[in-house]
Structure 1
Amino acid sequence: MDLKDIPAITITQAMIDEYARLSGDFNPLHVDPVMAAATPFGGTIAHGCIPMEPLFQAIRKLTGAPALPPGSIMSLRYLRPSQPGDTIRIEALPQAVDAEGKDAGVAFACINQRGDKVIEGRWTLPQ
């Protein structure tokens, strides 16, 4: 899958604050830089959906639809937090098939500017 034209995103505190406003999730770890500075993270961290944006863009490109099609399956693991200043891009492996010839989905990783995987998983689109 060619993802070269899927833009990376750079996370900002303004982006995090806007997501908090839209979602109602005002956890101080996201929106209170003073409190968050005293945590092991050393600052605020993005809500989990924010570093997934390149993945959502890739799925929109693949399907031509504005949202995941009904029947889509996604499994993922968050490996490390993303913070303001992090730039996140997507990497994906070609769609695979299982031993029965059925769609086994696409493995993906959201990767920061240091090359660290922040999220990894698999999505399977309905057939």
Structure 2
Amino acid sequence: MPIATLDDIRARIGQSIGASDWIEVTQDRITAFADATEDHQFIHVDPAAAAQTPFGGTIAHGFLSLSLLSRMAADVMQVPDTTKMAVNYGLDRVRFIAPVRAGKRVRGHFTLDSVDDKAPGQILLRHTVTVEIEGEPKPALTAEWLGLIFT
């Protein structure tokens, strides 16, 4: 993650901070996620059966797309230069808008919404994230993501 001063980060409130690199959502990735979460619904793991649905093939779990936010954030999200540790604090207003078909690529667009002092030595950053699907008119998801920084 890019490092910046807290003042530099606060100066970007309300601004787009960038887009991540593209990530390919392969069938192997989808299957591994199904195994990890024990969600083996056929639309994720059975290409023949999924081909008979309106999706026309297998799709990623919405939670798989959501879990890729951490990887996407590493490309663009800034953290204060005084950071000792950062943790996920939660998500607000998560919406899964369009399915991610196996073989598609996704990337995250991040906007910094706020930077708030939560407690001494704790800073709460709120970002709006939109996950774009390459070549598709609708995003995979939108969410407000909260990260807690310990300084």
State the identity as a percent: 25
Match of 2:146 in 1: 124
Return the offset for 1:97.
Answer: 5.8
Q: What is the identity, as a one-letter code, of the residue corresponding to 1:108?
A: V
For the 8 Å contact 1:54–1:110, the answer to whether it is kept is: no
1:46 pairs, out of 52, 55, 60, with: 60
CA distance in 2 between partners of 1:124 and 1:58 (Å)? 15
**Which ranges of structure 1 fall in alignment gaps of 5 or more residues?**
none
For the 8 Å contact 2:111–2:128, the answer to whether it is kept is: yes
Return the offset for 1:53.
Answer: 4.5
Superposition TM-score, scaled by structure 2 size: 0.66
CA distance in 1 between partners of 2:31 and 2:87 (Å)? 28
Question: Compared with structure 1, are the counterparts of its residues 97 and 21 closer, same or farther at alpha carbon in structure 2 (3 Å cutoff)?
Answer: closer
* Higher radius of gyration, 1 or 2: 2
* SS, match of residue 94 in structure 1: strand
Match of 1:22 in 2: 36
Q: Which runs of 4+ in 1 moved over 3 A?
A: 1-4, 58-66
RMSD in angstroms over aligned alpha carbons? 2.9
Correspondences of 1:80-119 after superposition (within 5 Å):
80-96=98-114, 105-115=126-136, 116-119=138-141
Aligned residue-pair number: 121
For the 8 Å contact 2:72–2:107, the answer to whether it is kept is: no
* SS, match of residue 95 in structure 1: strand
CA distance in 2 between partners of 1:65 and 1:97 (Å)? 17
CA distance in 1 between partners of 2:25 and 2:41 (Å)? 17
CA distance in 2 between partners of 1:110 and 1:56 (Å)? 12
What do residues 71-117 of structure 1 show as CA deviations (whole Å, max 9, x unaligned)? x120210001101121100001123269xxx9672111000112531
Identify the structure with the greater strand proportion: 2
Superposition TM-score, scaled by structure 1 size: 0.77
CA distance in 1 between partners of 2:125 and 2:27 (Å)? 36
The structure whose RCO (Cα within 8 Å, separation 6+) is larger is 2
CA distance in 2 between partners of 1:25 and 1:104 (Å)? 31
For the 8 Å contact 2:111–2:127, the answer to whether it is kept is: yes
